[in-house]
């Protein structure tokens, strides 16, 4: 079955960087776009970034452009999220998800399978 396992989260300080990883298995990885979302306590799930199956196109939340970078390694069935200049408001559980089709939407309801997430905490 489809399995997505995130890793790389942790406790960091303001201004630090982190790279999150998402290991995918149980399906044809190159057949799906991938997305990253985050959810802070008491808030709704929020779109972070998405990438096409070939990696030739990406989409980012406007507020995160320039600080976050999504990438994928199709040879390893991995998706990454590089996060720089982290702020306390970036504190959240970060999850990866699969997306069929050709679009890279913001709407989490349009994504198919989800990982459990990894906690990122940024201290001030």
Read off the DSSP letter of residue 29. Answer: G
Confidence of residue 101 (pLDDT cuts 50, 70, 90): confident
Read off the DSSP letter of residue 81. Answer: E
- pLDDT tens-digit series, residues 35-61: 999 999 999 999 999 999 999 999 999
Per-residue pLDDT at 21:
98
122 three-state secondary structure: strand
- pLDDT tens-digit series, residues 63-85: 999 999 999 999 999 999 999 99
Taking residue 48's Cβ as centre, other Cβ atoms within 10 Å add up to 25
Q: What is the mean pLDDT of residues 101-123?
A: 94
Q: What is the mean pLDDT of residues 92-99?
A: 97
Instruction: Using CA atoms of 98, 103, 109, 111 in order, give the dihedral in degrees to the nearest 10.
Output: -10
Query: How far lies 5's CA from each of 8, 23, 28, 33, 87, in Å?
Result: 10, 5, 16, 16, 24
pLDDT higher than 90, residue 102: no
CA pair distance 78, 5, nearest whole angstrom: 10
Strand partners, 25: 3
Strand partners, 3: 25
Structure tokens, 38: 């985050």
What is the share, in percent, of the chain residues with pLDDT greater than 90? 96
């Amino acid at each position: 079955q489809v399995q997505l396992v995130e890793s790389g989260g942790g406790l960091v300080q303001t201004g630090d960087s982190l790279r999150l990883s998402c290991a995918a298995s149980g399906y044809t990885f190159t057949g799906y776009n991938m997305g990253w979302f985050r959810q802070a306590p008491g808030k709704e799930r929020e779109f972070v970034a998405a990438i096409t199956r070939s990696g030739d196109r990406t989409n980012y939340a406007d507020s995160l452009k320039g600080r976050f970078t999504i990438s994928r390694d199709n040879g390893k069935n991995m998706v990454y999220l590089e996060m720089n200049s982290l702020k306390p408001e970036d504190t959240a559980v970060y999850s990866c998800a699969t997306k069929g089709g050709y679009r890279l939407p913001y709407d989490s309801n349009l994504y198919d399978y989800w990982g459990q997430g990894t906690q990122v905490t940024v201290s001030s």
